Amino acid sequence: MKYSFVALLLLCVTSSLPAAEQWRGFLGADSSKITANSIPTNWSPQDNLTWKSEIPGYGQSSPVIWGNQVYVSSVEGPNKDKLHVICYNLKTGKQLWIHTQPSTYAEKNTVYISRAAPTPVLDEKGIYAYFESGDVVSISHDGKFQWTASLTDRYGAPKNKFGLSASPVQTKDAVIVMIDDEGPSYLTALNKTDGKELWKADRKSRVSWSSPTLVPVGETSQIVCSSAGSLEGYDPATGKLLWSFDKVGGNNKTSPLSTGNGRFLVGASPGRSGENEQLAKKSNGLFQVGREGDTWKPEFVWTNSSPVPSWATPIAHQGYAYWVNRAGVVYCLDLKTGKPAYTNRIQESCWATPVGLGDHIYFFGKNGNTTVLKAGAKFEVVAENRLWTEEAPPVNNIPTAKETGQRLRSAAMFSRPTLYGVALVNDYLLARTGSQLFCIQKKK
C-alpha cells in the first residue's frame, strides 16, 4: 500500500476535519484531496484577489490552514525580540487573534539571517510553532496559550550565522524538531501536551536548512533527514537511528519528499563556491528504504546529474518529478526511471515549493509571478499570473540596519518583497510574503 507524506500525517494525527480543509504543515496537505477546478489557473490582483492582510513584523514560513482559520508566524524588533503567531479568518482575512511572546535567544534582525522561517504544524488541538530562536509554543485554535519551551535553554544556542529554518513534523503525540547547526545538533520530540522532551537524538554538527519528513515504510513510518552530507532514518516513537547513508553532498537546503512506500525524492546542489559539486551531481534522485532480513537497506533507485535546485523542494505529480533552480529552470524527470522529459525556463526562481494539483503544476515565483504548467512530459505553459503589481507592492517590514559596500547591494536585493510559501484548501489559495498575506479565489 502506498501513502503520500501527508497521507501518513493523516494516519498519525487523527482528525474529523476533511483533508481538503487542512494544510497542516510544511509541504502542506495531500493536494489530491483538493478539488482541482476549485483553484484558478489564471488570476490577477484586480479580478481574483479576495483579500489581503498585513502581517505584523516579518516571516519566511508558509501559511497553514485548519478549517476556516489561517495561521502565520513572524518576528519583530531590532533583535527579533517578539515572536508572533497570528490567526486570520479564511473567508475575510480579518485577524482573529495574535499571540506574542519574547524570544529567549535574541539575534540582530537583518536580511541575512532567517526570520520566522520554520513553518508551524497543526492538529485538532491547535497550532505548534517553532522559531529559529529555539522557542516552541502551543496555542489552541481559539487563541489560548497552552505551553512554551526553549530548546536554546535546554540544549544550547545555535551558531549558524544565517539562522535556522527547518520546519517541524508531527505524530499524534509529538512535535519533532531538527536542529542541524555548527553548534549542538539534534533531533528531538516534544510532548504535545506540555512541551516536555520525549526523546532526543544527537546528530553530527553541520550547517543546514533542510526539514525532516515523515516517510511511510511498510506498516511503520520513519523520520527521514536529508542534511549536509547524509541521509538518515529515525524511529518516530523513540528517536532510534535506523539507518544512515553518506554518499550524498550538497543536500543542505531542500527537504526529502515522500512518493510512496519507503521512497522519497532528494534534492542537492553545489555551494556558492562549487563545493560538493561532484557529490551533488550524484545526489538528486529517487531514494528508497527497504528491508533485507533484519537490516534496513537504503539506496538510490536512480539519480540524475542535471537538476540544481535552490530553495524549492522537488515534488512528484502524476508520474513525473520536478525540480526548479535559482534561475527559474524547471527539470522534469520520469519518476520511475529518472530519464529527462524536458528542461525549460519559467519566469523566475522559486523559494516556495511547487504544488501539483489536478492536471497542473503551480510554480510560485519569488517576485510574485506564478507559472502554471501542464502536468506531464511536455513543457506547456497554461498561465502566467501576477500576485501584485509594481505600482502596488506588498507591505514589507524589512530591518532598518544600515549597510555599506557589497552588503548594501546584497541588502537591497534581499529586501525586496519575496513570496515565501503557499497553502491550498478547496476554493482558496493563500500566499505569503514577509509581511503580507494574500487570498486568491476563482472569480465569482
Q: How far apart are CA 183 and CA 166, in angstroms?
A: 15
Closest CA to 94 of 43, 58, 140, 50: 50
For the residues 125-147, what does the mean pLDDT come to? 98
pTM for the predicted model, two decimal places? 0.94
Task: State which residues form the domain around 275.
Answer: 5-440
pLDDT digits (tens, 9 = 90+) for 56-112: 999 999 999 999 999 999 999 999 999 999 999 999 999 999 999 999 999 999 998
Query: Is pLDDT of 145 > 70?
Result: yes
For the residues 232-251, what does the mean pLDDT come to? 97
Query: Is pLDDT of 404 > 80?
Result: no
| Cβ–Cβ under 8 Å, residues 354 and 315 | yes
Query: Is pLDDT of 326 > 50?
Result: yes
Q: How far apart are CA 30 and CA 289, in angstroms?
A: 22
Q: How many domains would you assign to the chain?
A: 1
Mean pLDDT score across all residues of the chain: 92
In this prediction, residue 271 carries a pLDDT of 74
| Cβ–Cβ under 8 Å, residues 34 and 20 | yes
CA distances from 48 to 125, 170, 382, 412, 440 (A): 32, 34, 17, 30, 5
Q: Which three cell numbers stand for residue 7?
A: 497521507
**Which residue is associated with the grid cell 499524534?**
172
Query: Is pLDDT of 273 > 90?
Result: no
Q: Which three cell numbers stand for residue 317?
A: 505529480
Q: How far apart are CA 301 and CA 297, in angstroms?
A: 12
Query: Could you count the other beta carbons within 10 Å of the beta carbon of residue 296?
Result: 17
411: domain CATH number is 2.130.10.10
For the residues 276-294, what does the mean pLDDT come to? 93
Our CA angle for 241, 246, 248, nearest 5°, is 130
